Each structure stands twice: as structure tokens, then as C-alpha cells.
Amino acid sequence: MLRKNRLFTPGPTPLLPAAQTAMASFTAHHRTADFKALFQHVLADMKDFVGTKNDVLVLACSGTGMMEAAVSNLTSPGDKVLVLTAGKFGERWTGLAKAFGCNPDVLSAPYGETFSLNDIRARVAPEVRAVFVQATESSTGARHDVEGIAKIVREHGDETLLVVDAITGLGTTHLNVDGWGVDMIIGGSQKALMMPPGLAYCGVSERAWKRMDTTTSPRYYFDLRKERKSAAKGETAYTPATSLFAAMGAALEYIRGMGNGDLAKGREALVNNAELCAEMTRAGAKALGLKLFAASPAAALTAITAPDGLDSGKIVKEFRESFDAVVANGQGEMKGKIFRIAHIGYYDYLDTIGILGALEHVLARLAETRVEYGAAVRAAQEVYARTQFGKRQLVGA
Amino acid sequence: MLRKNRLFTPGPTPLLPAAQTAMASFTAHHRTADFKALFQHVLADMKDFVGTKNDVLVLACSGTGMMEAAVSNLTSPGDKVLVLTAGKFGERWTGLAKAFGCNPDVLSAPYGETFSLNDIRARVAPEVRAVFVQATESSTGARHDVEGIAKIVREHGDETLLVVDAITGLGTTHLNVDGWGVDMIIGGSQKALMMPPGLAYCGVSERAWKRMDTTTSPRYYFDLRKERKSAAKGETAYTPATSLFAAMGAALEYIRGMGNGDLAKGREALVNNAELCAEMTRAGAKALGLKLFAASPAAALTAITAPDGLDSGKIVKEFRESFDAVVANGQGEMKGKIFRIAHIGYYDYLDTIGILGALEHVLARLAETRVEYGAAVRAAQEVYARTQFGKRQLVGA
């Protein structure tokens, strides 16, 4: 049977065809009126996509580059910062804070779990210059309580900044960036924006801009104040990744269409879509007797614990070999123990039902226990019918 | 008359169609065998493109990001370094060196000129930890004598590193990277590689790798040792700009074809092509009575001084309005005084003759003096005929 290559990885994610063609056909130089118009349109639209009235900047780098920008722009060597970590990407905050000479207080939760707000409250103090956290920890599929964390940080006034890596969180999680008082929120192109990797972006609060007046960590390529100054003139400080900007413009138009011409509504529709894909997938996995790995699962991805005695790498391999579908293994210490199915961006009903059907075959082939074909699919259909048509239209009812 | 949008800017440059389609159609995740194969192939080919046996790394950033990587990986705060500057990009080295706490000794030459080797010799000493220079200064069209500079630096043994920004130099200038002893050479995707901006690359000598054992400037996203370790395993440290890697693979194949299957020969053919375009353009400009701005002109681009009393911005505007051809104005203090026509990468005979024909119309329209139609074109044809067919086949002979 024909097998189409399909990504179910938490980034890169499936590409929007309109973004691919926009990328291939854009040829304008970056110091022309054509690019300037695209650039200004994209930056304005990105505010609606991020859900902020603050300036949004877009740089040529991966998400890690923008995480570095947060650390190098908002801290000085010796600064006390609080890092909240419960997975591989939390650990990246620690690495970055140390690389730039900060003095990080690291609050860890076990992989798959999230933080106690009381533990956080006990550690936030005016001398903590910044708190770094993920909205969703892609390595474990856990969702962190950004609203609750922001509330604690804001109780301390303007002394402590809150920096949120929402690289897989934006477009999959309802985030009230300005309302909660998030100071820097970070995203990447290869996630809910349905386009290739190569761009990262951030929304920056006035509190954070003010902080940059006094911070002394070295920065040049990632100097956000310089970028902001250039953006006000409709350009970038250094050569932008023009073709990816064109893809971004096309993706934002598509998301605007999801909101019937309103981009902010389109973003909410995209989040709801991820949530429905995730709920269907969780129901499907449970129907097969599988355990979800994350205690508070994110809609960005579903991390599923491999059945006892079965290496999750074999599951990943079987998905690829039988269906050319790419799901993700665990990372670091979770490798071999979990597999991860993403719902970020460009996924629909057929994708979701299809991957659950495939999961049934994969388990039937690899696991010791008997699999009832259709069980995961049916459970997902029941979720779909309930949420889309109301309870009375349950399948078979 | 139909007007095709054409870039004659020193980056972005015209795109290779095969690179555009490769970029649009590549969808693989970056932790798959498909991407790994592409990645390893590209890194191996990039050695031939750069002309080095040293490791070449490719990162998601603009050229400035890789310039920062040179400074942050190869120096420590307080290090004495020598910056050679004769234009806007030389000044960027100064800015970077200061941002990372170096103590730069700045040797300046006026815009459009290059350095006296004696001046350089007088300043290089074992306590100078690194020398930073451009191979070709894109803001002025000048070529610097990398071979001569390298000779001086290497006389001092291994204490001083030579870092060359060859962003517009690679693929337009014959560079013997290993033979001359260049320690770090830097390029960008949107130049002779005929693809969009978004990737930068570098070749790094063993001397430079060794230096990184002791340097202390903060670096994380641009940590080259971490990238090298990942590359040895066939992957990148952080999410690579996958679609641009696909474009890079296609561009390298095209250049290999220029060398009849030999990529190193293809690179030399590409340099010769730029040199011929540049020589034709210089001859054409001179035939119109125009003055070349650079004393030692690079093949990457030709900077031409606007006729007395004519703002070069008007020339740039007229090229765009009448022909949708984008040539570059001067930058910084050169704005309004010069215009720049690039020869980097994907230009052929028809492009070169065409832009010279257009230049004649532009001048006829804007300049006070009478223009003889065909004068620039004929001068360029004479160069072409002489170099391609030998002296006896001069046009009209």
C-alpha cells in the first residue's frame, strides 16, 4: 500500500502547502518595498498570533537561539534567576543561565510532572531577577501552569521577569500573555505556524525592555533592542531569512482564515483544534490500555508510556516502517520508555483517526496483549462526536 | 514591456530554481535517516565548496551570527585583537569585538581602499589573539589581500588566529584556505550558493579548535564545539533549518555540475564566472566614463561612483522603476555616492549584458552627459570575446 511520509513529531510539524509555495516563489531582496511590506505585515500579525499588544520580533535562528536572547538580554553575570525544569527543555534554561554567568536556583520536578505552585512561591523573591519556564515541556508532554506561575511572579511587582518558552505551547495552549504579565514569550516557526524551522520569535513586555537598559551580558546578533529599533523602521538589523518570512506570511493568512478573517480568533481555533486532536488521542491510547506519561498533559503532544517490556524505540520504528509515519521516541533518560504523538499545527480529523488506527496495528504486531482493532479509533470518534455534535450523537447511540 | 524582478544586490542574489523547488518539497524531520543523509552529504560537500579539509559547520542564522560565533568562540574578555576595517562590514567586527569585551586595535583604511601590508605587519604580535578581516568588503566592492595578510599572521606561529569574513568572498574569489592558514572562514547561504538567506557556515582550523579549549566568552547557541560534536554524529545541536539545507544540497549539486562532477572544480568555475561578469561590468562602466569606486575591485560586486551631481539613489530608483532590476545603493556614508552591481553566484552572460544595456538607459535619462547606446555593452562583449575565444575574435575584428 502507498505510504505517505507524515510527521507526528513535536516540531518540525506538517507543512502548510501554501507556506511551501510561498517560500519557493519569494525572491525579493530584504531592503525593498516588497519585503518591507511583508515584514511589517508579518510582525503586526504575529502580535495577534502570540496574543499580545507588545512588540513581537522574528529572528533567523532556532528556538534555542531565542532562548539565548532571553538570557543574554534580560540578565547580567551574577544575577540570581529561578529555573523551573521538568524535562529536557527546562534543562536547557539551566544550561543557558550558567553559560551567561547567572546564578540559577533550579527547581526540578520529575519528568512527566509539573511544579507545585507553593514550591515556586517559596522561591520567588525580589532579588530573583527572572523566572524561566516552559509553557509545555515537549520532552514529556506536560503542561505547566503559566497562569499560576505568572500570578506568583507578579505579586512581587516589577523586580522579577517571567520568561516563557512557548515554542510548542503557542498555538496549542490558551495563553493570556499580557493579562497574566508574561515578560518574554518565545516561539519557533516549525511548530503551530506549520512551516519549516529557521525562524524564532518573541513577544517582549515594557518591563523587559526596561530591564535591557541595565543588563550587561554580551549580545550582538541577538541584541533585541537593536532589532526593535530596526523593526520600527520596517527592517531587520541583519539579513532576514526572507523565504521563511514569506512562508510565515502565508501561514498567518491560513490561520486568519480559520478565524473567518480574524487572526486572534484563528489562533483560538488552532488551539481548540490541537486540544481536540489531543483529547481524541488520549482517549484512543487509554482504550488500548496504554498509560499517558504526563500527569497534566499538554495539547501540543501526547506522550504515551510503552507497554511493560516493550522498548518505545521499536514502536517508533514500526510506525515508520509500516506507515512512514514519524512519531517521536523519548529524549534523554526517557528514551525507550515513551513515545510521543504531536498535535501542533496542521493536523485534522483524518490524521488523528489514521494515526490511531496505525497505532493499533503497531501494538498488535509488537505487544504481548491482544488488540481489538477499532478500539482506539472508536474512543476517539466518541470524543469527536461529543464535542462537535453534542452528547446525543455518540457513535452507535 | 514585461519587467522581470531581478536582483543585482550583493546578497540576497538570484535563486537557483532547483534550490527553490528542493526547499519547497523537503518535509523530513531533522532526526530521521533522510535528513541525516542530506546533512552529512551537505557538510562533506561544503568542504569542497569552501576549499578546506577542515570541518565545516552550518548554522541557522545570518552571516552576522557566524561572525559572532567567531568572536565568542575564539576570544576571551580582555583579549587584544586586531580588526582590519575599510567599510561597513569591517566595522561590524569592531562592534562584535567590543560587545564581547575584547580590546580591539582597529586598523582602518578609507572606504573603497584596502590595507597596507606593512601597516598590518607592524601591528601583528604574539599577544594579538586574533585578526579579523573581510575577504571582500561588500559595502565598497574592495578586495582585501587575504593571502598577504595570512602570510604575516602565520609568521607569528600559532599564537594569532586569522578570521576571514568571506560571506561575499566565497565563490567569487580564489581562496586557498588551508594553504594560506586561515583559521576561521565564514560564509552565508544567500550569496554564491544561490539560495535564500537563513544559513551561515564556517570552516575551522585545528588551531582554532584548540583555542576554544581555553576561551571564556559566553556562548550557547553559537557554541561551535557542541555543534562539531553533534555533526560527528550526523546531526545538529539544535533544530536545523531543514528546508534551507535541502536548498543547499541542490545548489551544491548544481555547482558540482559546473565542474563536470567535481565540486572543487565547480567552485573554481563559479569564481571564474564572477570574475568574468565583474570584468565585463567594469569595462562597461568605464566605457560610459564612469569611475570605479574600489581601488582593488572584488569580483563579488562592482561599486561605481555616481556621476558628479547625481545622487546614486536616483540611479537605483531608475533601475527599479524602468527595469525592475535591483542594484544596491551605497551604505552608511557612501549612500547617494555609489551604486553597486553584484556578480555573486547565479549570473550569466545575458544578465550581465542586459544590466549594462539598462545602465545606458538609466544614465541617458538621469545624467547630464550624452550616452552612446551600446558603448558599455560593446566594451563588455570585447572582454567576453577576448577571454572566451581569444584575441583574434574581438567583436568587429
Beta strand pairing status for B325-326 and B6-7? parallel
A138 touches chain B (CB under 8 A): no
Q: With contact defined as beta carbons under 8 Å apart, do A49 and A252 qualify?
A: yes
Q: Chain A window 308-337: which residues touch B at a Cβ cutoff of 8 Å?
A: 320, 326, 328
Return the amino acid letter for A284. Answer: G
The matching CATH number, chosen from 3.40.50.1580, 3.90.1150.10, 3.30.565.10, 3.30.1330.60, for A6-12+262-393 is 3.90.1150.10
Q: With contact defined as beta carbons under 8 Å apart, do A3 and A321 qualify?
A: no
Query: What is chain B's length?
Result: 397
Q: With contact defined as beta carbons under 8 Å apart, do A246 and A26 qualify?
A: yes
- Chain A residues whose CB is inside 8 A of the B326 CB are 29, 32
Categorize the per-residue pLDDT at A390 as very low, low, confident or very high, splitting at 50, 70 and 90: low
In chain A, the residue whose alpha carbon lies closest to the alpha carbon of B71 is A220
Q: ipTM exceeding 0.95?
A: no
pLDDT at A369 (0 to 100) = 81
In chain B, the residue whose alpha carbon lies closest to the alpha carbon of A239 is B62
Cα distances (angstroms) measured from residue B282 to each of A16, B10, B65, B81, B378: 45, 16, 32, 35, 12
Mean of the pLDDT values across residues B161-174? 98
**Phi, psi at A329, each rounded to 5°:** -75, 170
**Interface mutation vs chain A, best among B3, B15, B27, most A CBs within 10 Å:** B27
Cα distances (angstroms) measured from residue A341 to each of A8, A271, A327, A347, A355: 5, 16, 5, 11, 9
| pLDDT over 90 (residue A113) | yes
Return the amino acid letter for B171. Answer: G
Q: With contact defined as beta carbons under 8 Å apart, do B357 and B376 qualify?
A: yes
- Chain A residues whose CB is inside 8 A of the B23 CB are 23-24, 243
Answer whether A12 sits within 8 Å of B30, measured CB to CB.
yes
Mean pLDDT score across all residues of chain B: 95
Q: Where are the alpha helices (DSSP H) in A288-393?
A: 312-323, 349-366, 375-389
Mean of the pLDDT values across residues A134-152? 98
Answer whether B12 sits within 8 Å of A24, measured CB to CB.
no
- Chain B residues whose CB is inside 8 A of the A241 CB are 62, 196-198, 241, 244
* Chain centroid to CA B20: 20
| pLDDT over 60 (residue B348) | yes
Which class in CATH covers the domain with range B6-12+261-393? alpha beta
DSSP code for B196: -
Q: With contact defined as beta carbons under 8 Å apart, do A166 and A51 qualify?
A: no
A147-195, pLDDT tens digit by residue? 999 999 999 889 999 999 999 999 999 999 999 999 999 999 999 999 9
Give which of A366, A364, A361, A312 is closest to A341, Cα–Cα. Answer: A312
Return the amino acid letter for A353. Answer: I
B266-310, pLDDT tens digit by residue? 999 999 999 999 999 999 999 999 999 999 999 999 999 999 999
How far, in Å, CA of B305 to CA of B285, rounded? 10
Give which of B177, B188, B84, B61 is closest to B134, Cα–Cα. Answer: B84
How far, in Å, CA of B201 to CA of B340, rounded? 25
How far, in Å, CA of B224 to CA of B210, rounded? 12
Cα distances (angstroms) measured from residue B164 to each of A203, B97, B116, B384: 35, 14, 17, 31
Q: Other CB atoms closer than 10 Å to residue A190's CB: what's the count? A: 34
Q: What percent of chain A has pLDDT over 90?
A: 93
CA of B68 to nearest chain A CA: how many angstroms apart? 7
| pLDDT over 90 (residue A395) | no
Write the residue in A29, A65, A71 that is nearest to B7 by C-beta: A29
Q: What percent of chain A has pLDDT over 70?
A: 98
Q: How many CA atoms lie within 13 A of A387 on its CB side?
A: 16
For residue B184, list its beta bridge partners.
B163, B204
- Chain B residues whose CB is inside 8 A of the A316 CB are none
Mean of the pLDDT values across residues A6-23? 94
Answer whether B100 sits within 8 Å of A5, measured CB to CB.
no
pLDDT at B396 (0 to 100) = 42
For residue A203, list its beta bridge partners.
A56, A185
Domain boundaries, chain B: 6-12+261-393, 17-258
A14 touches chain B (CB under 8 A): yes
A30 touches chain B (CB under 8 A): yes
A337-386, pLDDT tens digit by residue? 999 999 999 999 999 999 999 999 999 999 888 899 999 999 999 999 99
Residue A323 C-alpha cell reads as 506507515
Categorize the per-residue pLDDT at B390 as very low, low, confident or very high, splitting at 50, 70 and 90: low
Residue B156 C-alpha cell reads as 607569528
Q: Chain A window 247-276: which residues touch B at a Cβ cutoff of 8 Å?
A: none
Answer whether A326 sits within 8 Å of B242, measured CB to CB.
no
| pLDDT over 50 (residue B314) | yes
**Interface mutation vs chain A, best among B36, B75, B243, most A CBs within 10 Å:** B243
Residue A152 C-alpha cell reads as 506568583
Answer whether B23 sits within 8 Å of A243, measured CB to CB.
yes
Beta strand pairing status for A338-342 and B80-85? unpaired
Size of interface A-B (CB pairs under 8 A): 170
Q: Chain B window 68-127: which residues touch A at a Cβ cutoff of 8 Å?
A: 68, 71-72, 95-96, 99-101
**Interface mutation vs chain B, best among A39, A220, A222, most B CBs within 10 Å:** A220
- Chain B residues whose CB is inside 8 A of the A7 CB are 27, 29
**Interface mutation vs chain B, best among A239, A331, A341, most B CBs within 10 Å:** A239
**Interface mutation vs chain A, best among B238, B248, B301, B329, most A CBs within 10 Å:** B238
For residue A202, list its beta bridge partners.
A57, A186
How far, in Å, CA of A49 to CA of A47, rounded? 5
Q: pTM for the full model?
A: 0.91
Q: With contact defined as beta carbons under 8 Å apart, do A120 and A156 qualify?
A: no
E-only strand ranges, chain B: 6-7, 55-60, 80-85, 103-108, 130-134, 136-137, 142-143, 161-165, 184-188, 199-204, 291-292, 301-305, 325-326, 328-329, 338-342
CA of B294 to nearest chain A CA: how many angstroms apart? 23
Answer whether B242 sits within 8 Å of A196, measured CB to CB.
yes
Q: With contact defined as beta carbons under 8 Å apart, do A212 and A183 qualify?
A: no
Answer whether B15 sits within 8 Å of A27, measured CB to CB.
yes
- Chain A residues whose CB is inside 8 A of the B223 CB are 99
In chain B, the residue whose alpha carbon lies closest to the alpha carbon of A194 is B27
How far, in Å, CA of B279 to CA of A315, rounded? 60
How far, in Å, CA of B207 to CA of A263, rounded? 52
Lateral strand order in the sheet of A80-85: A55-60, A199-204, A184-188, A161-165, A130-134, A80-85, A103-108
Alpha-carbon Rg for chain A in angstroms: 21
Q: Chain B window 210-249: which residues touch A at a Cβ cutoff of 8 Å?
A: 217-223, 237-244
B120-140, pLDDT tens digit by residue? 999 999 999 999 999 999 999
Q: Where are the alpha helices (DSSP H) in A77-145?
A: 88-99, 117-123
How far, in Å, CA of B116 to CA of B328, rounded? 28
In chain A, the residue whose alpha carbon lies closest to the alpha carbon of B18 is A24
Write the residue in A7, A23, A241 that is nearest to B29 by C-beta: A7
CA of A69 to nearest chain B CA: how many angstroms apart? 9
pLDDT at A193 (0 to 100) = 98
CA of B328 to nearest chain A CA: how many angstroms apart? 9
pLDDT at A396 (0 to 100) = 42
Answer whether A65 sits within 8 Å of B68, measured CB to CB.
no
| pLDDT over 50 (residue B23) | yes
How far, in Å, CA of B66 to CA of B56, rounded? 12
Residue A251 C-alpha cell reads as 501561514
DSSP code for B328: E
Write the residue in A15, A63, A218 that is nearest to B27 by C-beta: A15
| pLDDT over 90 (residue A2) | no
| pLDDT over 80 (residue B42) | yes
Answer whether A27 sits within 8 Å of B11, measured CB to CB.
no
SS (H, E, C) A25-62: HCCCCCCCHHHHHHHHHHHHHHHHHHCCCCEEEEEECC
Q: With contact defined as beta carbons under 8 Å apart, do A298 and A87 qualify?
A: no
Q: With contact defined as beta carbons under 8 Å apart, do A11 and A138 qualify?
A: yes
How far, in Å, CA of B362 to CA of B183, rounded? 44
Lateral strand order in the sheet of A291-292: A291-292, A301-305, A338-342, A328-329
Q: Other CB atoms closer than 10 Å to residue B372's CB: what's the count? A: 11
CA dihedral A115, A273, A187, B34 (to 10 degrees): 110
Cα distances (angstroms) measured from residue A356 to each of A280, A282, A285, A302, B82: 9, 10, 8, 12, 61
Alpha-carbon Rg for chain B in angstroms: 21
CA of A13 to nearest chain B CA: how many angstroms apart? 8
Q: With contact defined as beta carbons under 8 Å apart, do B153 and B181 qualify?
A: yes
pLDDT at A308 (0 to 100) = 94
Q: b/e map of B130-156 (b: 16 or more CB within 10 Å)?
A: bbbbbbbbbbbbbbbbbeebbebbbee
CA of A32 to nearest chain B CA: how many angstroms apart? 8
- Measured at the CA of A242, the angle between CA A239 and CA A247, to 5 degrees, comes to 150
Q: With contact defined as beta carbons under 8 Å apart, do A287 and A378 qualify?
A: yes
- Chain B residues whose CB is inside 8 A of the A220 CB are 64, 68, 71, 95-96, 99-100
Write the residue in A12, A219, A243 that is nearest to B99 by C-beta: A219
Whether the link from the prior residue into B126 is cis, omega within 30° of 0, is: no
How far, in Å, CA of A180 to CA of A183, rounded? 9
Name the CATH topology of B17-258. Answer: Aspartate Aminotransferase; domain 2 (3.40.640)
H helix or E strand, kind and range, residue A303: strand A301-305
Answer whether B239 sits within 8 Å of A197, measured CB to CB.
yes
B213-256, pLDDT tens digit by residue? 999 999 999 999 999 999 999 999 999 999 999 999 999 999 99
Answer whether A239 sits within 8 Å of B197, measured CB to CB.
yes
B19 touches chain A (CB under 8 A): no
Answer whether A68 sits within 8 Å of B221, measured CB to CB.
yes
Answer whether B239 sits within 8 Å of A100, measured CB to CB.
no
CA of B104 to nearest chain A CA: how many angstroms apart? 16
- Chain B residues whose CB is inside 8 A of the A23 CB are 23-24, 243
pLDDT at A114 (0 to 100) = 97
pLDDT at A7 (0 to 100) = 94
Whether the link from the prior residue into B12 is cis, omega within 30° of 0, is: yes
Q: Other CB atoms closer than 10 Å to residue A315's CB: what's the count? A: 24
